Chains A and B, each alone.
Chain A
Amino acid sequence: MAAKTKVRSAKKRRFINNTIVHVVLAILAFIWVFPIIWVILTSFRAEKGSYVSTFFPQSFTLDNYVKLFTDTSILNFPQMFMNTLFIAVCACILSTFYVLAVSYCLSRLKFKLRKPYMNMAMILGLFPGFMSMIAVYFILKAIGLTEGNLIKVALILCYSGGAGLSFQIAKGFFDTVPIAVDEAALLDGCTRWQIFTKITLPLSKPIVIYTVLTSFMAPWLDFIFAKVICRANSDQYTVAIGLWNMLQKEYIDSWYTSFAAGAVLISIPIAILFLFMQRYYVDGMSGAVKG
């Protein structure tokens, strides 16, 4: 009898604990998701203007999305979207290659400058990138990359150039792949490049995917470099500059709901990438041992 009540009270206690935990989590989740829901609702709002007195729109419409893609005379969103996509994809490919190659070298090759390089990267990494923004602008200008379509090249260089410094996470992952595997391959006549492409990379899918994700997101979301380098070349604007323009005094009243629509649209590619790659992403971050 006594044992039975004990079991029941333990169950009860667990039930109460779980309830409390879930209620707290639900509240946190609500607070977290709330702004996103608000942006999505605003993007479908039919009433114009930046301010409304009700949380839920009085009526819904798709016009805000239509306007983004049809009203291109003042702010050409489709062009900005394509610019950004092009820059982000190129920068992503380049910097993924840089990061993985540097990480592999630092993890597997023994050379004299290895330690000094890692220390230097650590120290350089402490400075914010936009500190050198103006200097970068003038260097690009001196090479002649600040006009016309070359601006895209300039931006791709900006976003991928510093990638060699952010090797830490990938290097940590490569370190967990047993050296014995490499040695076996060497004995069988593999070159270093073949080891890298045929053995290390296939064993490190999670970290490859993590690197791809982060190096796609940086140029996709960046505002500050794009703003400094694009200047008055409106045909080279990226989405971030376009969205910022929509909130200027002259445009905010007529473009605010379209701004929300634009914000939803740019989060879609990232959301899709994350949904597909979430599993690898978590694995990559935890540095799981493979081999």
Chain B
Amino acid sequence: MKKRGLAMMLAFVLAATGLVGCGNGTDGASGGKEKIRLMVWSPSEDQSKDSGEWLQTMCENFADEHPEWDITFVYGVADEASAAGQVAQDAEASADVFMYANDTITTMTDANALAKFGGKYREEIESTNSEEVLASLTKDGELYGVPFTTNTWFMYYDKSVFSEEDIKNLDTMLEKGVVSFPMTNSWYLPAFYIGNGCTLFGDGTDESKGVDFSGEKAVEVTNYLIDLEQNPNFRIDADGSGIAGLRDGSISAIFSGSWDANAVKEALGDNMGVAALPTFTLNGEEKQMMAYAGSKAIGVNPNCDDMAAAVELAVYLGSAEAQRAHYELRTVIPCNTELMAEQEIAADPLVMAQNNTFNYTSILQPFVSKMNNCWTPVENMGKGIRNGSVTHDNAAEQTESMNEAMNSDGI
């Protein structure tokens, strides 16, 4: 049903863009300067006075650097997660430059609403970013955005409870203090399965290979999770209970992302510790938890009037200079390789944790369209374990049916 709705929506988009035609042409050149109107969308924090008006500042710097253009900026608010939906709904009336999360790439490429980067721009982007980050924005060999941060989750812990040694293994941590994990959230739960060799779409890009969450390796994990849920030192993190636990001291470690950094800092103060994901002990063997990771990027609308200016602006907003300002104003963790090499930034534990997770303890979150089938079955597994309907007796059967559901299109 959902798919049909989307198809209808797209049909409307196409029909209407055909009918409506183009409204705002650029005015002729005046005084040797080309007049340009650029619409830019970003999350509202990037534009708020309290956090330094990052977007406005950067755009003005950009205009200063390009005296050949007389640019009028129009700002709009769309956060990275929802921008794709807005742009795909009506690409023509959308921003020329916008920010998006990489798992929404297919939504926009399907609607023909995302421009490819090529030539010198692509070279510039490739020279300042790691391969993993670039891979997250590449589809069928084409690069679709300028990355400005990575997007994943890692571990926050209380330094007064756990030592540097303890946090290497989840089971060691559970002996010393209370750990909370969002078991009923399917963005987090697969970390255990992937850690034990389960795969999604081959290396994440081959849709035909399907999901492999079956067999002994997956059943072992289900059994481990059932025991984990019953561990008296384990709490399920749902609806913000983890961060509330950190505040009142009943929980000493949670799994979350950079968006919770300020809240955790407030709760733990100097005892705040941040680290990449720990391992877990499965039948005596150490297995590494593997998070889903993605990136956030700046995209360009192929329907814009001034392609050159829009692409230049996108590249500028993703440059080292802009990323540094973003980091200083809003602690948006940079991903530019030159910036990462700098002492001051590399010393920040939050940056280290996120980047270590991204580089070593994560897999690229697949963004093939069949990935959409993978969320609900995993969530149901987590909920089944929580309410006791998944037990050691039926673990094999339940795991198999989860795998089957992840591989099917049915709802």
Contact = CB atoms under 8 A, between A and B. Distances in A.
Interface of A: 47-53, 73-75, 134-135, 137-138, 141-142, 144, 146, 228, 231-234, 248-250, 252-254, 256
Interface string B238-264: 011101100110100000000110010
B267 to A, nearest CB: 9
B20 A146 contact: no
A74 B50 contact: yes
B259 A250 contact: yes
9 contacts: A48-B247, A50-B239, A73-B51, A134-B89, A137-B90, A231-B94, A232-B94, A233-B76, A249-B81
A75 B50 CA distance: 12
Given A73-B48, A253-B243, A49 B19 contact: no
Interface string B117-152: 000000000000000000000000000000000000
A141 B22 CA distance: 11
Contacts of B51: 73
B41 interface: yes
Given A74-B48, A248-B79, A253-B243, A232 B19 contact: no
Contacts of B259: 249-250
A231 B48 contact: no
A58 to B, nearest CB: 9
A142 B21 CA distance: 9
Contacts of A250: 43, 45, 79, 259
Contact of B77 (A50, A232, A253): A232
B243 to A, nearest CB: 6
B73 interface: no
B78 interface: yes
A138 B16 CA distance: 6
Interface residues of B, number: 38
Interface string B32-68: 0000000001011100111100000000000000000
Given A47-B247, A51-B243, A232-B41, A253 B76 contact: no
A253 B49 contact: no
A232 B43 contact: no
B243 A141 contact: no
Closest 4 CB pairs of A and B: A232-B76, A50-B240, A234-B77, A73-B48
Contacts of A141: 16, 20, 90, 93
B405 interface: no
A49 B20 CA distance: 46
A267 B89 CA distance: 32
B29 to A, nearest CB: 25
A253 B86 contact: no
Given A134-B89, A141-B93, A51 B12 contact: no
Interface of B: 8-9, 12-13, 16, 19-20, 23, 41, 43-45, 48-51, 76-79, 81, 86, 89-90, 93-95, 239-241, 243-244, 247-248, 250, 259-260, 263
Contact of B93 (A146, A254, A256): A146
A254 B240 CA distance: 11
Contact of A138 (B12, B50, B241): B12
B244 A232 contact: no
A50 B237 CA distance: 12
Given A49-B247, A74-B45, A253 B240 contact: yes
Given A231-B76, A253-B240, A253-B260, 19 more contacts: A49-B247, A51-B239, A51-B240, A51-B243, A51-B244, A53-B241, A53-B248, A134-B9, A134-B12, A134-B13, A141-B16, A231-B89, A232-B41, A232-B76, A232-B78, A232-B86, A233-B77, A249-B81, A253-B263
B78 A254 contact: no
Contacts of A144: 23
B240 A74 contact: no
B263 A49 contact: yes
Given A138-B16, A141-B16, A142-B19, A256 B48 contact: no
A232 B80 CA distance: 12
Nearest to A54: B248
Nearest to A233: B76
Contacts of B248: 53
Contacts of B78: 231-232
Contacts of B20: 138, 141-142
Contacts of A135: 12
A135 B51 CA distance: 38
Contacts of B89: 134, 137, 228, 231
Nearest to A138: B16
A146 B20 CA distance: 13
Nearest to B45: A74
